[in-house]
Amino acid sequence: MLLYSLIFPIISILAIVWFAFRYLRGKNSFFTTILWSIFWIIVAIFSLFPNLSNSFARMVGITRGLDFIIILVFIILFYTVLRLYFIVDKLQNDMNTIVKQVAIQNEITLDDEEE
């Protein structure tokens, strides 16, 4: 048995437990916890049964299992970056709105400066 076949399942279990604790403390949503748990379960399964990735690869028309895993990781990374972009964009819009409201509330007129 290869070393990664032992290390990745252990890392997967630790990651799932960590996400479960974060969910119980209210730091993660249920959806996020489930999504990451599924990801880490898939990592553990592919590390324990590496030939299984070949079967999945052939089902989607890819020749090698490693290519399938790399494409899957790129899809996950693209989704994560896109989601983070939308979150940052929304935060930036919210911040601009708040700054405009504060500026309007604290507006200094010329009459105020003369007194």
User: Does residue 113 carry a pLDDT above 70?
Assistant: no
Residues 29-48, mean pLDDT to the nearest whole number: 90
Three-point CA angle 18, 54, 63, nearest 5°: 125
Q: Report pTM.
A: 0.68
Asked if residues 15 and 36 have their Cβ atoms less than 8 Å apart, the reply is yes
Q: Helix, strand, coil: what percent of the chain each, to 5? A: 85, 0, 15
Give 65-86 pLDDT, tens digit per residue: 888 888 988 998 898 899 999 9
User: Sorting pLDDT into bands at 50, 70 and 90, what band is 93?
Assistant: very high
Nearest Cα to 17, choosing from 39, 33, 6, 1? 33
- Give strand ranges (E) for the chain: none
Distance CA 101, CA 109 (A): 16
Domain map (residue ranges) of the chain: 1-50, 57-104
Nearest Cα to 77, choosing from 21, 50, 20, 39? 39
